[in-house]
Amino acid sequence: MDQLEVRVQPPDQAARELAAEIAGLIRARAEEGLAFVLGLATGRTPLGLYAELARLHREEGLSFEHVVAVNLDEYEGVEPDDPRSFRAWTRAHLLDAVGVPVERALIPPPDLAVAAEVAWCRAFEERLRALGGIDLQVLGLGRNGHIGFNEPGSARESRTRRVRLAPETRQDAVDTWDGLDGVPTHAITQGIATILEARRLRALAFGLAKRDIVRRTLEEPVGPRIPATFLREHPDARLCVDEPALGRG
């Protein structure tokens, strides 16, 4: 319990250090002839990290040939080529830049029929096990404490599943979807138990808007009320925050 490392640093420094850690792990696994399974989050927070990984690939020859990318979540009812889908977003901001084809990316399909979602989620979990699990999972913190789309109330034992998005989560996406009516109401997300099975968890939270949820993540009891508190149970988890997010700036 309470094993979460907190590292205070500017966002650009956090991006460089985490990218360097990921690069070292990718190279080490490649030397062994093994794939590196990288779990990806979406949104503004990890953009600096993905830009730095793309730079390492472009300028320093970091090969992603043996990388398998796995997305945390995806909106329901969105066309795959819609730039607002996480599938398209991940390709645009990382996968295409580092040469990871869709065939080596495990991403929930945004246009999956509701009736097929249970079977897909079960197959997703089986595929993760076949890959040997996620080596490093990148995470952000929602302002209500969600990780992935595990909203408050999500059980520690939860697995990949369809979820209803909380009102505040949908409100935070209003600008992207040109109004609340356009924001999807449901999504597919990895569960808390699925996330905690990753070997390494690296969460990022920057700026004054994340100050309250960073405090609650670190101080409130571990439990489903604030799903991000479950990070404190993981043996190799790190929360990277800047001074404003920690309440110092």
Q: What single-letter DSSP state applies at residue 210?
A: G
- Residue 150 bears catalytic tag: no
Q: Which of 52, 57, 71, 73 is catalytic?
A: 73
What's the rounded Cα separation, in Å, for the pair 153 and 139? Answer: 18
Q: Whole-model pTM above 0.85?
A: yes
- What six digits make up the tokens of 60? 């320093």
SS3 57: helix
- Residue 144 bears catalytic tag: yes
Q: Which of 76, 93, 117, 144 is catalytic?
A: 144
CB atoms within 10 A of CB 247: 12
Q: Do you know the residue count of the chain?
A: 249
CB atoms within 10 A of CB 60: 8
Domain 5-246 CATH (choose: 3.40.640.10, 3.40.50.1360, 3.40.50.2300, 3.30.70.2860): 3.40.50.1360
| Domain range summary for the chain, segments of one domain joined by + | 5-246
- What six digits make up the tokens of 39? 């779990």
Show the CA angle centred on residue 223, arms to residues 220 and 225, nearest 5°.
75
Tens of pLDDT along the chain (249 residues) come to: 578 999 999 999 999 999 999 999 999 999 999 999 999 999 999 999 999 999 999 999 999 999 999 999 999 999 888 999 999 999 999 999 999 998 899 998 888 888 899 999 999 999 999 999 999 999 999 999 999 999 999 999 999 999 999 999 999 999 999 899 999 999 999 999 999 999 999 999 999 999 999 999 999 999 999 999 999 999 999 999 999 999 865
- Residue 236 bears catalytic tag: no
- Residue 32 bears catalytic tag: no
Q: Which of 74, 76, 117, 151 is catalytic?
A: 151
